[in-house]
Structure 1
């Protein structure tokens, strides 16, 4: 399925491009996402998705298939799978940046998404609306990375000693929190009850198979 998203950033074209093509910086801005490292030009990472008490942990890769610094166009290919849930996802993301003003940039994203498993049961309209809400969270988190260049920096505090505790996992993306408002807006409160009934039935009967 093809998804289209658009948003604007309070940054000039050069700064916005530098940020959005730095996957190591922007990965933590995506709810539930984590970048685990890289192998050459391939980035290794994971995404945790939670639907109520049901969780999925996609692990996979992402890489730039195309990056045109002059035209401000990038194409990213990403794929992942959840071995426990037997679900897979693959996406080809085409991003283009254009200036809106001296210090504002528009970002246009076309995503060709292919998913399998239980999440594929949701229709394109619902997935598109969830995608829009997810992008909204992403942009909100991304804005914290765009501190004006002329903002005076405070003296850095001494770094604490390195911890031996394992790095905590990122909070999973709760798809129910995203999709319930979508169904309520589109179809009314009855649809919310239908979805909750479906999830309850799946938990009681589906997991016994």
Structure 2
């Protein structure tokens, strides 16, 4: 549980909430503010719209802990608001509501349009309300009501407010957090994951702090200098890694490519680039990469650090790995730590086997399972089978 402090409809609130609790659920279940309606619970229908620091926000996809220190205004808190009062009267007059389920969110979205639109342009109003769905009215009365209020206010000399009062870019409520765990995140300036190198115009690969890090190692029966040379050949390394392929001509310090992943019905093509660093004196190297999949809207950043240790009087090599990654988007929902760790271990084993074949002069079988696609399902079933066998052996020993 996390202690948060909010100002809800001008009233100071302190409460202990679970990190997974959404703001809409907290308002409805803990504060009995049921005017905030829940519809799709995916941030699509707009029924849950409220004001967070004066700006419209979807409360069904906003975590309550992320709003620590923010001002929250629900439809109940707008009873005496001048614009909302005019909109309620216009909605009644223009028959802009029927069942009323969408109306609280619709009023809050309409209030934002009245604040910032200079004229009652129908196209701009329809675009502005496109995130609020109504299954009853057909929108004609709603649009007419909003146009009426805008026209009346402009005739009275009430001018629009540029941006509706927004002073900075970024998620609403992000600048007021008092919880250290939240404020540290909010204080960081928003940056694009993808930047461009000013000299080359290519995508720059920034350093990052991995969300998860784990270590692994494997052994190959070849001397370290030969293994180090082979790891410097990007094309050969890509050929050894299941699901990987190059999309551009590799350079000694940079490569662009793709990793294809298939997890059940989900297929993802992570396209991106990697920065390559190598230190001959210590027989070590580092690969920092990033990529995104457009279909799943997932972004990944990864870092592989390797160190070659001579063993068996230099006749063989132990490859020590440190693997770190961060994953955002839809695929992050199924990337549990234990599963990722086990899958990475299996991929490391596949990579070691393919690396050994390359060093032996034996071409990697391109038709072998996993050489073209990183099939998470087949790997998962294999891992489950191995775990089941371990459990059976443990029971037999008893």
3-state SS of the aligned residue for 1:61? strand
Q: Does 1:37 align with 2:248?
A: yes
The structure whose RCO (Cα within 8 Å, separation 6+) is larger is: 1
After TM superposition, give the deviation of residue 184 of structure 1 in Å: 4.6
Matched, 1:140 2:341: no
How many residue pairs were aligned? 166
Instruction: Give the match for residue 48 of structure 1.
Output: 260
Aligned residue for 1:37, secondary structure, equals coil
Residue 327 of structure 2 corresponds to: 115
Alignment of 1:161-172 (within 5 A): 171-172=372-373
Matches within 5 A, 1:1-209: 1-38=212-249, 41-64=253-276, 66-101=277-312, 102-120=314-332, 121-147=334-360, 171-186=372-387
**SS at 2:378 equivalent:** helix
Q: Secondary structure at the match of 1:122?
A: coil
Change (3 A) 1:39 1:172: closer
**Corresponding residue number in structure 2 for 1:152:** none
Deviation at 1:37, TM superposition (A): 2.1
Which structure: greater strand fraction?
1
Is the 8 Å Cα contact of residues 261 and 374 (structure 2) preserved in structure 1? yes
Q: Specify the SS of the correspondent of 2:360.
A: coil
Q: Aligned partners of 1:25 and 1:184: how far apart in 2?
A: 31
DSSP 3-state at the match of 2:225: helix
Mapped to 2, the partners of 1:77 and 1:9 lie a distance apart of 24
Question: 1:156 aligns to what?
Answer: none
Counterpart contact for 1:97–1:108, Cα < 8 Å: yes
Give the deviation of 1:58 after TM superposition. Answer: 0.6
Tell me how far 1:187 sits from its aligned partner: 7.1
Question: SS of the counterpart of 2:351?
Answer: helix
Residue 144 and residue 185 in structure 1: after superposition, are their counterparts in 2 closer, same or farther (change >3 A)?
A: closer
C-alpha distance in structure 2 between counterparts of 1:74 and 1:4, whole Å:
15
What TM-score, normalized to structure 1?
Answer: 0.73
Query: In structure 2, what is the Cα distance between the partners aligned to 1:146 and 1:110?
Result: 22
The CA distance in 2 between the partners of 1:181 and 1:81, in whole Å, is 27
> In 2 relative to 1, CA 136–37 (structure 1 residues): closer, same or farther, beyond 3 Å?
same
Deviation at 1:61, TM superposition (A): 0.3
Which segments of structure 1 move beyond 4 Å, counting only runs of 4 or more?
Answer: 184-188
What are structure 2's unaligned runs of at least 5 residues? Answer: 1-211, 362-370, 390-398
Asked whether the 8 Å contact 1:30–1:137 carries over to 2, the reply is yes
In 1, the alpha carbon distance for the partners of 2:250 and 2:376 equals 30
Q: Which has the larger radius of gyration?
A: 2
Q: Counterparts of 1:67 and 1:16 in 2: how far apart (Å)? A: 13
Structure 1 alignment gaps of length 5 or more: 149-169, 189-209
Conserved in 2, the CA contact under 8 Å of 1:10 and 1:146?
Answer: no
